[in-house]
Amino acid sequence: MDAPVDPTQTEAWAKLAKIASVYTPDFRRAFAEDPQRAERYSRRAADLFVDLSKDYLDEDVLAALLELAEETGVAARRDAMYAGEHINVTEDRAVLHTALRRPATDELTVDGQNVVADVHEVLERVYDLARRVRSGEWTGASGKPIRTVVNVGIGGSDLGPVMAYEALKPYVKKGLECRFISNIDPTDAGEKLRGLDPETTLFVIASKTFTTLETLTNARACRAWLLGGLAERGVETEGAVSKHFVAVSTNLEKVAEFGIDPANAYGFWSWVGGRYSVDSAVGTSLAIAIGPENFADFLSGFRAIDEHFEQAPAAQNVPLLMGLLNVWYTNFFGAATHAVLPYSQYLHRFPAYLQQLTMESNGKRVRWDGSDVTTGTGEVFWGEVGTNGQHAFYQLIHQGTQLIPADFIAFATPRHALSDEDGTDQHELFLGNFFAQTKALAFGKTAEEVRAEGTPEAIVTARIFPGNKPTTSIMAPELTPSVLGQLIALYEHITFVQGAVWGIDSYDQWGVELGKQMAKDLGPAISGDAEALAAQDSSTASLIDYYRANRK
Ligand code: F6P
C-alpha cells in the first residue's frame, strides 16, 4: 500500500484554508443572489434526492474539495477497495462489503477465490432458512413452528440487524417477531427472553469472530434457558439445540466447538468488517423477518449506491461530496460533531447504527503507514429522530456556540397516513417540521425581525437565531428495503471518503482491544483475589472494593 498523501500538504488544502479564512456563510444572501442555488447544489443518487444547497458550498469550495479528493487519491483507493486489494493494512485484509451486493452473474476473484460465487452460495442458504422458518416447515424440538427469532450479537453483529428490522417493520411477516440481545448486562437477556416460548424460539448467534465475550456468554445463557424451558414442558432436549440455534460467523470451527450444527452455520469472510456486515449472513434475522424477496431488494439498494459511487462524475457523486463536506467542516470550521436527524420513527436506531459505522471506522490517530495523522479525524456522530430531537437538543444546534453540521432525512410517503377529525394530514404536520428546521437553521431570525414582533428589548438577543448553520437534506419517495440499503451504503461510502482523505485505515478497530483485555484480566480481582486486588491502581482497587462491599 502506498504511503498516504498528507492532505495538509496539497494545493487544494492551501486553497481551502485560504477560502475558510475569509468565509462568512450567509445563506440569505447566497439564496437571494442565486435563484438557482437549490437546483445548482441538489444531487440524485438512485432514489435519493440530496439537497446540498444549505451547506457551506459555492463554486470555489466545490472545486477545491474535488481537487482535494483528486490530490489525495480517493478514486484510486475506491477502485482498490472494489477490486479487493488489501486496503485494510493493519489486518492485511481486503475490504469487500461491496461484493456482498453484487449480482450473481458478476465475478470477482480475490486471493484466488471468486468471492461473488461464495456470497451467493451463502445467500441462497440464508434464503432457504428464511423460507423454511417463514413457512413453518422449520420446527422447534416439539414440532411447533417458530414465532420469535432472537439475534444474539453485539456491535456490527447487532446494530445493523436491529436498526434494519426496526426500519422495515412494515415488511415483517405477521406472526413473526425478532428480538435482539447484545449487552453482557444480564438484564438484557433477562428482559428480551421474558414472555418467550422456548418451543417456538429460534436463536441466531451472530459473531464474526465467535470469540466475543458478550455474545458467547449470552449464547450460553440462551442455551440454558432453552434447554431448561423445554425440559420443564417435558420436551425431549436431546438434539434440541440444532432445532433452535443457528450461527453466523467467519469462524466455523468455533461455531462447531460451541455445539451448533455446522449445517446450521452461515459463513462470511474476513473481508467483511463487522460494521459493514448487515448485508451479509449477519442479516439472517432480518432476512427471516422480511423474507428473501425484500432482503434481495435491500441488497439492490446498496448496489445502486455502490454503482453511483463508482460511476457518477465527481461533481455529481453524492457520497464523495458529502464525505468532502464533512472534511471541510471538521478541519476548517472545527466541527467536532455531526448530527443525523431522520424524520421517520422507523429510523430510530439509525443514528446508533451510524455511530459504530463512522466512529469505529474513522476514530483514528495514526495513518495507514503508522505515522501520525496530520489533521483532526472522525467527528462524533449522534442524533435522534425528528420531531423528538426538536424538543430535546435542537436548542443547542440553533443557538449554541458550537457548529454542528446536520443531515436531515425524510420520506415523501408515510406508512401510516393518519388524519385528525378536522382532516389535518399528520404526515404533512410532520414534514412541515422537517422543512422548517433546515430553513430556520439556514436563515435564522434577525434582531429586527424579533423586534418587529413586539419583543421587549431586554430579551431581543435571547430570541435571535443566528442562522447559517449547515444542513444536508436527504429525501426519498418511501422507506422501502431498497431505500434503506441506499442510505446505509451512502454512509458507508461517506465514511470511506473521509478516511481516504485523512489517510487512515477505516477498517480496523484496535482501539477497542485494551478495555476488552483489561476486563478479562480483572476477573480475579473482582472475585476477591487479594493479590490481584493489591496489584491494581488505587482508583480501580477502591471501585472494586465498593462493589464487593455493596453487592447484595
Ligand atoms: O469490539 C468491537 C467489535 O470487534 C466490533 O468491531 C464488532 O462489530 C463487534 O466487536 C462484535 O464482534 P463479533 O461480530 O466478532 O462478535
77-133 pLDDT tens trace: 999 999 999 999 999 999 999 999 999 999 999 988 999 999 999 999 999 999 999
Q: In this structure, are 489 and 521 located in the same domain?
A: no
E strand spans, 23-145 = 42-45, 48-51, 109-110, 113-114
The reported pLDDT for the residue numbered 297 is: 98
Report the number of distinct structural domains present in the chain: 3
| Residue 264 alpha carbon to ligand 1 centre in Å | 21
Q: In this structure, are 144 and 253 located in the same domain?
A: yes
Q: In this structure, are 156 and 266 located in the same domain?
A: yes
- The stretch 395-402 carries a mean pLDDT of 98
Ligand 1 atom nearest 274 alpha carbon:
8
| Residue 89 alpha carbon to ligand 1 centre in Å | 18
Q: Which residues of 375-385 are buried (b: 16+ CB within 10 A; e: fewer)?
A: eebbbebbbbb
C-alpha span between 431 and 426 (Å, rounded) = 9
pLDDT above 80: residue 248: yes
Domain assignment of residue 185, yes or no = yes
Domain assignment of residue 508, yes or no = no
Share of the chain above pLDDT 90, in %: 96
Average pLDDT value over all residues in the chain: 97
Any idea which residue has 461484493 for its cell?
A: 99
Q: Quick check: 333 and 56 in contact, CB under 8 A?
A: yes
Domain assignment of residue 236, yes or no = yes
Q: In this structure, are 322 and 424 located in the same domain?
A: yes
| Residue 77 alpha carbon to ligand 1 centre in Å | 25
Which amino acid residue places its CA nearest to atom 1 of ligand 1? Answer: 512
Q: In this structure, are 18 and 153 located in the same domain?
A: no
Determine phi and psi for 407, rounding to 5 degrees.
-100, 125
Determine phi and psi for 295, rounding to 5 degrees.
-65, -40
Q: Read off the C-alpha cell for 499.
A: 478516511
- Looking at 295, 325, 347, the residue that finishes a domain is 295
Q: In this structure, are 481 and 386 located in the same domain?
A: yes
pTM: 0.97
The residue to mutate among 88, 152, 208, 360, having the most atoms of ligand 1 within 8 angstroms of its beta carbon, is 208
Q: Quick check: 119 and 100 in contact, CB under 8 A?
A: yes
Q: In this structure, are 397 and 346 located in the same domain?
A: yes
Which amino acid residue places its CA nearest to atom 16 of ligand 1? Answer: 207
pLDDT above 90: residue 43: yes
Q: In this structure, are 343 and 261 located in the same domain?
A: no
Q: In this structure, are 221 and 193 located in the same domain?
A: yes
Which amino acid residue places its CA nearest to atom 5 of ligand 1? Answer: 155
- Looking at 295, 324, 353, the residue that finishes a domain is 295
Ligand 1 atom nearest 516 alpha carbon:
1
Ligand 1 atom nearest 156 alpha carbon:
8
516 labelled catalytic? yes
Q: CB-based contacts of 18: which residues, under 8 Å, 6+ apart?
A: none
pLDDT above 90: residue 7: yes
The reported pLDDT for the residue numbered 421 is: 77
Over residues 181-214, the pLDDT tens digits come to 999 999 999 999 999 999 999 999 999 999 999 9
pLDDT above 90: residue 219: yes
Ligand 1 atom nearest 157 alpha carbon:
14
At 436, which CATH number? 3.40.50.10490
Q: At what angle do helices 213-232 and 513-521 cross, to 10 degrees?
A: 60
The reported pLDDT for the residue numbered 420 is: 76
Query: Which residues span the domain enclosing 104?
Result: 97-295
Q: In this structure, are 402 and 484 located in the same domain?
A: yes
The reported pLDDT for the residue numbered 415 is: 85
Q: Quick check: 254 and 208 in contact, CB under 8 A?
A: no
| Residue 355 alpha carbon to ligand 1 centre in Å | 14
- The stretch 341-365 carries a mean pLDDT of 98
Written as one string, the DSSP assignment of 141-165 is: TTSPBP-EEEEE--GGGTHHHHHHH
Domain assignment of residue 91, yes or no = no
- Looking at 247, 265, 295, the residue that finishes a domain is 295
Domain assignment of residue 286, yes or no = yes
| Residue 157 alpha carbon to ligand 1 centre in Å | 7
C-alpha span between 402 and 309 (Å, rounded) = 31
pLDDT band at 536 (very low <50, low <70, confident <90, very high): very high
The reported pLDDT for the residue numbered 111 is: 84
The reported pLDDT for the residue numbered 8 is: 98
| Residue 208 alpha carbon to ligand 1 centre in Å | 7
Which amino acid residue places its CA nearest to atom 9 of ligand 1? Answer: 155
Q: Which residues line ligand 1 (CB under 6 A)?
A: 154-157, 207-209, 212, 215, 274-275, 360, 509, 512
Domain assignment of residue 532, yes or no = yes
The reported pLDDT for the residue numbered 238 is: 94
Of 360, 379, 384, 492, the catalytic one is 360
Over residues 319-334, the pLDDT tens digits come to 999 999 999 999 999 9
C-alpha span between 531 and 187 (Å, rounded) = 31
Q: For the chain, how far is it from start to end, CA to CA, in angstroms?
A: 55
Domain assignment of residue 525, yes or no = yes
Q: In this structure, are 439 and 532 located in the same domain?
A: no
391 labelled catalytic? yes
Q: In this structure, are 173 and 251 located in the same domain?
A: yes
- The stretch 413-432 carries a mean pLDDT of 86
pLDDT band at 416 (very low <50, low <70, confident <90, very high): confident
